[in-house]
Amino acid sequence: MAPVTFDNVSIRYPGAERATVHELDLEIADGEFLVLVGPSGCGKSTTLRALAGLEEVESGVISIGGVDVTGQEPAERDIAMVFQNYALYPHMTVAQNMGFALKLSKLPKSEIDAKVRQAAELLGLEEFLDRKPKDLSGGQRQRVAMGRALVRNPKVFLMDEPLSNLDAKLRVQTRAEVAALQRRLGTTTVYVTHDQVEAMTMGDRVAVLRDGILQQVAPPRELYAHPVNEFVAGFIGSPSMNLFPADGVTVGVRPESMLIAGADTPSTYRRLAAVVDIVEELGSESYVYATWEGHRLVARWDSSAVPAPGDSVELAYDPEGAHRFSPENGERLSSR
Ligand SMILES: Nc1ncnc2c1ncn2[C@@H]1O[C@H](COP(=O)(O)OP(=O)(O)OP(=O)(O)O)[C@@H](O)[C@H]1O
Ligand SMILES: [Mg+2]
């Protein structure tokens, strides 16, 4: 059993004026896939590295499996980390790359072979075991890097943007494979990304970090439906939620809930007279960007009759279903 707990953890780099990670409280359940997401520089890698024992914490307690590991060396923590730049050893075969850490720990060769073979099977790499990394595709190399972590059978997997070297299509495929593999293994995993789509599709729960401060931890659906503040509302979902002032509050309406008014639009909907700026046609749907009273808004539009830039349209939304945030501090004012 390896739940992970951050208890009031602050991390400050030497000489830095303020903490990079500020009083982080986070409980990750045994076997959970927790995604840490947030903009560049918000402290995701720092948090993960602190869990790995690669950064010192200023205050607070980190525990793995109920054991306080705050003062432990990385090697004592029984974790395996996959980095963004997972350099493989070019002169070694796939099998040698995967077994290298085990060889260093002086495991008998027969055991190393068995573990490598098992990991290769899980990752679909059996036929590549004798190849060198240069003779593999990007996705296959990525899987070898995963395999290196896998063979160690750690308590916790830590992954820091492991897919960012892959092209868009391979990324989508590999993220599904990584998520499925994690579920099969049931190993507690903390996965860092700045890509909110990756976060939403992979995580059991998603933790949103901003400027070193945890904003919200919740299952993807809840994060989407009930963002606790304007920041989370704007960060999760693409294109971003429309946020604009109305009736003294900040109203939030997702592009998919923003309509272009027509004959069948209910009379209870609020209408906003806007002028179309840009239309993005994606094939199955279009995004219509329009300006209303100085605010750029976006509506998803499924119809084939797409308005053109310069057209006047009436955007419409259901005020009952809209999110509402405080104009003072951005906190959520109501649940839907
Ligand atoms: N060794 C260091 N010394 C001082 N400051 C650092 C150090 N490493 C990182 N930082 C700073 O800490 C902050 C958080 O960095 P971190 O690498 O954790 O961000 P991140 O969320 O992983 O961003 P990205 O998505 O760009 O990888 C940044 O402002 C960064 O400049
Ligand atoms: Mg990072």
pLDDT (tens digit, 9 = 90+) per residue, 12-61? Answer: 999 999 999 999 999 999 999 999 999 999 999 999 999 999 999 999 99
Shortest-distance Cα residue to atom 19 of ligand 1: 41
Shortest-distance Cα residue to atom 13 of ligand 1: 41
Is pLDDT at 252 greater than 80 in this prediction?
yes
Return d(Cα 52, Cα 70) in angstroms, integer: 10
Give residue 140's pLDDT: 87
Give residue 215's pLDDT: 98
Among the bound ligands, the one closest to the CA of 37: 1
Among the bound ligands, the one closest to the CA of 47: 1
Shortest-distance Cα residue to atom 31 of ligand 1: 41
Mean pLDDT across 325-332 = 97
pLDDT digits (tens, 9 = 90+) for 66-96: 999 999 999 999 999 988 777 899 999 999 9
Shortest-distance Cα residue to atom 3 of ligand 1: 13
- Angle, CA 116 vertex, CA 94 and CA 127 arms, to 5°: 50
Among the bound ligands, the one closest to the CA of 83: 2
209 three-state secondary structure: strand
Percent of the chain with pLDDT over 90: 79
Residue with the two structure tokens 């980095």: 83
Return d(Cα 171, Cα 125) in angstroms, integer: 18
Return d(Cα 46, Cα 160) in angstroms, integer: 10
Return d(Cα 243, Cα 253) in angstroms, integer: 7
Top pLDDT among 93 and 163 is at 93
Shortest-distance Cα residue to atom 2 of ligand 1: 13
Structure tokens at 289: 């960007």
- Measured CA distances, 240 to 93, 117, 253, 268 (Å): 44, 44, 9, 24
Ligand 1 pocket, CB under 6 A: 13, 16, 20, 38, 40-46, 194
Q: Which of 35, 44, 83 to mutate to test the pocket of ligand 1 (most atoms within 8 A of CB)?
A: 44
CA of 49 to the centre of ligand 2 (A): 10
Q: Indicate which atom in ligand 1 lies nearest the CA of residue 161.
A: 27
Mean pLDDT of the chain: 93
Amino acid letter, 113: D
Give residue 84's pLDDT: 75
Give residue 336's pLDDT: 44
pLDDT digits (tens, 9 = 90+) for 176-235: 888 998 999 899 999 999 998 999 999 999 999 999 999 999 999 999 999 999 999 999
The DSSP string of 142-197 is HHHHHHHHHTT--SEEEEESTTTTS-HHHHHHHHHHHHHHHHHHT-EEEEEES-HH
CA of 236 to the centre of ligand 1 (A): 21
